Amino acid sequence: MDKPVIVALDFANEVECIDFLDQFPKKQSLFLKIGLEMFCQYGYPFVKKLRERGYNIFLDLKLHDIPNTVKRTCQMIAKWDVQMLTIHASGGSKMIKSAKEGLAGSNTKLLAVTQLTSLGQVELTNELQVTLRSQDYVTRLAKLAFTNGADGVISSALEVPMIKEVTSESFLCVTPGIRPKSSKIGDQKRVATPNQAKKLGSDLIVVGRPITQAKDKYNAYVKIEKEWNK
């Protein structure tokens, strides 16, 4: 079976977003990522609306707070019937465990963001003063997420083989920073094409602007989906 391409719904408002979704055939099953931009404007009613339309939802809130706050927030989100939720792995072992506890009883997969794909080695070393090599930092955070109960991580596709090696083959690697050959890289740093992501073993890819800012958005989606599943 074909693996879905998760589309990042990073739109200025709901009208633009619904207009985008209406460009797809009615029966098209879609896996959609609701991020901070849309969630801050429309909150849970928007999530509910898209679930009722039958879409799978990846709720990308990148939670990063003290364990108690994260647990209580996850307890709320557990009732929303979303497929995936993000936290930051750098919140630490207790926060990761608390998030998982908060989601208990739901089918929501917990994914921990390792190093944002918009950060390269230069930012890691000079700004965050992390002395590790980027790939070691990513695998370290992935291990932390794995040992504390997360279902998977968010990383660049470039790190997937190393992450699977230190965790498990079944530990989910969801990879944004996807750029087909002709696309603009924008603010991303650690990027891969859909085909590279496939070869590197990504479980799911997340694509935003190469689809949402394309002239023919549906066609851009179809092309990426074909390359990803080829």
Ligand X SMILES: O=C(O)c1cc(=O)[nH]c(=O)n1[C@@H]1O[C@H](COP(=O)(O)O)[C@@H](O)[C@H]1O
Residues in region 58-77 near ligand X by CB under 6 A: 60, 62
Contact status, residue 143 vs residue 103, Cβ threshold 8 Å? no
- In the chain, DSSP assigns E strands to 5-8, 31-34, 56-63, 84-88, 109-113, 152-154, 172-175, 204-207
Catalytic residue among 3, 48, 62, 109: 62
For ligand X, the binding residues in 145-164 under the rule CB under 6 A are: 154
DSSP 3-state assignment of 23?
Answer: coil
CB of 26 to ligand X, least distance (A): 25
Task: Give the whole-angstrom CA distance, residue 207 versus residue 221.
Answer: 9
- Helix 134-147 and helix 93-102: axis angle, to 10°? 50
- Which residues make beta-bridge pairs with 31? 6, 56
The reply to whether 71 belongs to the active site is no
Q: 217: closest CA among 10, 23, 15, 43?
A: 23
CB 23 within 8 A of CB 217: yes
- Catalytic: 60? yes
10 annotated as belonging to a binding site for a ligand: yes
CA–CA gap between residue 163 and residue 159 (Å, rounded): 6
102 interacts with ligand X by CB under 6 A:
no
Stretch that binds ligand X, among 67-75, 111-119, 143-151, 158-166 (CB under 6 A): 111-119
Contact flag: residue 35 with ligand X (CB under 6 A): yes
Residues 32 and 25: beta-carbon distance below 8 Å: no
Is residue 172 classed as helix, strand or coil in its secondary structure?
strand
Residue written as token pair 């083989």 = 161
Query: Which of 206, 217, 224, 227 is the binder for ligand X (CB under 6 A)?
Result: 206
Residue 226: active-site member: no
Q: Which residue of 30, 78, 86, 137 would you call a contact of ligand X, by CB under 6 A?
A: 86
194 near ligand X, judged by CB under 6 A? no
State in angstroms the smallest separation of the CB of 105 from ligand X. Answer: 24
Under the criterion CB under 6 A, does residue 139 sit at the interface with ligand X?
Answer: no
- If one asks whether residue 90 binds ligand X (CB under 6 A), the answer comes out as no
Flag whether 161 is marked binding: no
Question: Residue from 91, 102, 152, 208 that binds ligand X (CB under 6 A)?
Answer: 208
| Positions marked active-site | 60, 62, 65
Report the binding-site residues. Answer: 10, 33, 60-69, 117, 179, 188, 208-209
Binding site for ligand X (CB under 6 A): 8, 10, 35, 60, 62, 86, 113, 116-117, 154, 176-177, 188, 206-210
